[in-house]
């Protein structure tokens, strides 16, 4: 039986490039411009770019 770390890592990697029942991250952000990536609906929300940076950072940590 796989351990929780292995299962979690497999799921994180699947989010990046696996076409399962939802779009992969690469497909979801395809065609987004720099302006759209930094746009925020208001000061209390995060942009696509900020959320992406957060995910990349914690995946590497």
**Three-state secondary structure of the chain:** CCCHHHHHHHHHHHHHHCCCCCCCHHHHHCCCCHHHHHCCCCCCCCCHHHHHHHHHHHHHC
pLDDT bracket for residue 36 (50, 70, 90): very high
Looking at residue 24, its pLDDT comes to 73
Mean pLDDT to the nearest integer, 50-54: 90
Global pTM value: 0.57
The mean predicted confidence, pLDDT, of the chain is 83
């Amino acid at each position: 039986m796989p351990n929780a770390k292995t299962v979690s890592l497999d799921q994180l990697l699947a989010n990046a490039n696996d076409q399962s029942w939802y779009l992969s991250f690469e497909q979801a952000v395809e065609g987004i411009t720099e302006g759209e990536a930094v746009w925020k609906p208001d000061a209390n929300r995060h942009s696509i770019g900020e959320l992406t940076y957060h995910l990349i950072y914690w995946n590497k940590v």
